[in-house]
Amino acid sequence: MRSYRGQVAIVGVGETPVGKVPGRSALWFNAEATRLALEDAGLDKAQVDGLVTAPSFVAPFARMSVAVSEYLGIRPTFSNTLNVSGATAAASVSVAAAAIHAGLADTVVVCCGDNMLSGLTRDLAVKALVESRDPQYEAPFGLLVATTFALTAQRHMAEYGTTPEQLARVAVVTRGHAMKKPGAQMTAPITVEDVLASKLITTPYHMLDCALVSDGGAAFVLTAAERARDLRRKPVYLLGGGESYTQEHIFCAESITTTGAAISSRRAYAMAGVRPEDIDVAGIYDCFTGTVVMMLEDLGFCKKGEGGPFVEAGQITYGGRIPINTHGGMLSYAHPGLPGGFFHIVEMVRQLRGEAGERQVAGAELALCHSLGGGFATNATIILGTEEKG
Amino acid sequence: MTGQKPLPPIDDDTRAYWAGLARGELLLQHCRACGHVQFYQRALCGRCLSPSLDPRPASGRGSIYSFSTVHRPPSAEFKDDVPYTVVLVELSEGPRMISTLVDTPPETVRIGQPVEIVYDRVTPEITLPRFRRAAAPTAG
């Protein structure tokens, strides 16, 4: 199989302030993150000939990648507005890498930004999400996106004995990580009891089992590995990528406790030539606590059904098997909608460059990022490394 | 302020399905070419792409494959309904569908419980398929 393994590198990252950032548009979050990523890479915007972004929930642009390019004053020859819901983050890195590997572009900006918190009221944000459900078979029954994910967690609890306390532990651990990340939206320490005492949203999920609603944007710059070596930052190489699109409706899923993440990650590991046990640190899309538990299994960090005890045993933080979401993730750092998963990638790049400060995972050489969406309708995995050949 | 809840927009793919519900029948499509039974309604078989599909009434019985009780309504129209229990029902014919439970206290709901269909007439055109706990376990 053809492969982009080691052919493309992330050479710059940028992120805007996150949380409540009133008065800024979705375009600004995209552009500001891009400006910072180019500055980080030491590249001029004139060198950018490709741009990939995702649509905004708030801004009405039909061609978001073109609108962002115009705002930045660039005229790329490769442009893509990608939307595979939450999986867009990792998937857009693969799209950019494929474009570079295929010769469609030399230097591609991947960015995403939105103002879900300030631009949309919380009620409107939730309404926008419910309206993304099928109008005939789902929306008439008052199905929240959160409920779709809750159905999977409920079934996981019944099949494998996963407990509400184990789910809550994911939020507690990643809150601890956010406390060390400057600018994180939520930094007050929480306990398992706090999570279980927070308002019920859709069982088994409480408010603190659910990702935040935020403003914010993130960007990365990708270029060919041979160019990356001459740039100012230590290149972070893209070693593997995989995606999986298993169904649109949750009721058409073959299984709701084993997901397309098992497929996307298997493809990514195969391309990278590495195994789950080789990965040092991971960014896992954490729209809900139970999502993380299931992903730890499907990504191969523990056996199917053992995600709950794995979390409980302290395996997802420093000193454990695989520290995850060292920036705090979408549960505590920020979740501005589609940009939510992009911050995981920025954080993994910082980990591999050894720039994560007091969040640094010692000796991190291989990182995995997984993003997903639509009640596990979409899954995308990428594997990043400090060396071209892993 | 509670407005109109979202009603399904009927199209050519689903006209027969909604007409069936309006007369008290839950139709599943049986493929005449490969025998596959599917939900939801399409113009072709999702397994073999045959356009030859036979809509047949389902038993209306099944079991709870999973559930979630909604405490925070997705929009103002659902505010008076909370808490309500969304169910992923596995029909005895095989396919699964999303619905809500009626006449069932949320704290008594468990995965695996048998359920049966309730036809909830919302407008002359639209009858929503809801479910309630069934007395006896069903086959499958």
- Which of chain A's residues have a Cβ under 8 Å away from the Cβ of B21? none
Q: At CA A238, angle to CA A363 and CA A319, rounded to 5? A: 25
Smallest Cβ–Cβ distance between B68 and the set A123, A131, A147 belongs to: A147
- Which of chain A's residues have a Cβ under 8 Å away from the Cβ of B100? 141-142
From A20-34, B28-42, B122-136, the region with the lowest mean pLDDT:
B122-136
* pLDDT value of residue A127: 65
Contact call for B98 and A252, based on CB within 8 A = no
Contact call for A256 and B88, based on CB within 8 A = yes
Contact call for A123 and B65, based on CB within 8 A = no
* pLDDT value of residue B1: 38
Q: Which chain A residues touch B if contact means CB-CB below 8 Å?
A: 123, 126-127, 129-131, 135-144, 147, 150-152, 154-155, 158, 199-205, 249-252, 256
Mind telling me how many Å the CA of A148 is from chain B's nearest CA?
8
Smallest Cβ–Cβ distance between A140 and the set B6, B76, B106 belongs to: B6
Task: Tell me the pLDDT tens digit for each residue of B28-57.
Answer: 999 999 999 999 999 999 999 999 999 999
* pLDDT value of residue A129: 62
Contact call for A251 and B97, based on CB within 8 A = yes
Mean pLDDT value of segment A45-73: 95
- Which of chain A's residues have a Cβ under 8 Å away from the Cβ of B111? 154-155, 158
Mean pLDDT value of segment A180-192: 98
CATH topology of domain A8-119+212-385: Peroxisomal Thiolase; Chain A, domain 1 (3.40.47)
Match 């990340």 to its residue by tokens.
A181
From A45-49, A127-131, A181-185, B116-120, the region with the lowest mean pLDDT:
A127-131
Number of residues that make up chain B? 140
Smallest Cβ–Cβ distance between A144 and the set B10, B74, B111 belongs to: B74
Mean pLDDT value of segment A241-248: 97
CA nearest to A380, candidates A296, A308, A285? A285
Q: CA-CA-CA-CA torsion for B105, B107, B113, B116, nearest 10 degrees?
A: 20
| Chain B residue at shortest CA distance from A149 | B68
Token output for A230 = 């001459």
From A91-100, A141-150, B87-96, the region with the lowest mean pLDDT:
A141-150
Q: What SS3 string covers chain A?
A: CCCCCCCEEEEEEEECCCECCCCCCHHHHHHHHHHHHHHHHCCCHHHCCEEEECCCCCCCCCCHHHHHHHHHCCCCCEEEECCECECHHHHHHHHHHHHHHCCCCCEEEEEEEEECCCCCCHHHHHHHHHCCCCCCCCHHHCCCHHHHHHHHHHHHHHHHCCCHHHHHHHHHHHHHHHCCCCCCCCCCCCCHHHHHHCCEEECCEEHHHECCCCEEEEEEEEEEHHHHCCCCCCCEEEEEEEEEECCCCHHHCCCCCCCCHHHHHHHHHHHHCCCHHHCCEEEECCCEHHHHHHHHHHCCCCCCCCHHHHHHCCCCCCCCCCCECCCCHHHHCCCCCHHHHHHHHHHHHHHHHCCCHHHCCCCCCEEEEEEEECCCCEEEEEEEECCCCC
* pLDDT value of residue B5: 85
Does residue A56 register a pLDDT over 90? Answer: yes
Smallest Cβ–Cβ distance between A137 and the set B5, B97, B112 belongs to: B97
Mutation target to probe the B interface, by most B beta carbons within 10 A, among A121, A137, A160, A196 is A137
Domain coordinates of chain A in residue numbers? 8-119+212-385
Please report which confidence band the pLDDT of residue B140 belongs to, taking 50, 70 and 90 as the band edges. Answer: very low
* pTM given for the model: 0.96
- Which of chain A's residues have a Cβ under 8 Å away from the Cβ of B29? none
Does A285 qualify as catalytic in the annotation? yes
Give phi and psi for B7, each to the nearest 5: -105, 145
Task: Tell me the pLDDT tens digit for each residue of A338-370.
Answer: 999 999 999 999 999 999 999 999 999 999 999
Which position among A205, A237, A269, A285 bears the catalytic label?
A285
Distance CA A70, CA A59 (A): 15
- Which of chain A's residues have a Cβ under 8 Å away from the Cβ of B40? 136-137, 249, 251-252
Give phi and psi for A233, each to the nearest 5: -95, 155
* pLDDT value of residue A59: 87
Which residues, 6+ apart, have CB-to-CB distance to A279 below 8 Å? Answer: A301, A322, A366, A367, A368, A383
Three-state secondary-structure class, residue B110: coil
Contact call for B73 and A200, based on CB within 8 A = no
* pLDDT value of residue B2: 46
Q: Which residue ranges form the domains of chain B, and what is each CATH number?
A: 12-57 (no CATH), 59-140 (2.40.50.840)
H or E segment and range at residue B116: strand B114-121
Mean pLDDT value of segment B55-65: 97
Does A318 qualify as catalytic in the annotation? no
Contact call for B66 and A152, based on CB within 8 A = yes
Query: Cβ–Cβ contacts within 10 Å for residue A50, how many?
Result: 25
Distance CA B56, CA A35 (A): 59
- Which of chain A's residues have a Cβ under 8 Å away from the Cβ of B76? 123
Smallest Cβ–Cβ distance between B66 and the set A131, A154, A252 belongs to: A154
* pLDDT value of residue A125: 65
Q: What is the percent of chain A with per-residue pLDDT over 90, rounded to a whole number?
A: 92
- Which of chain A's residues have a Cβ under 8 Å away from the Cβ of B67? 151, 154, 203
Residue type at position A17: P
| Chain A residue at shortest CA distance from B70 | A202
Q: What is the DSSP letter of B72?
A: S
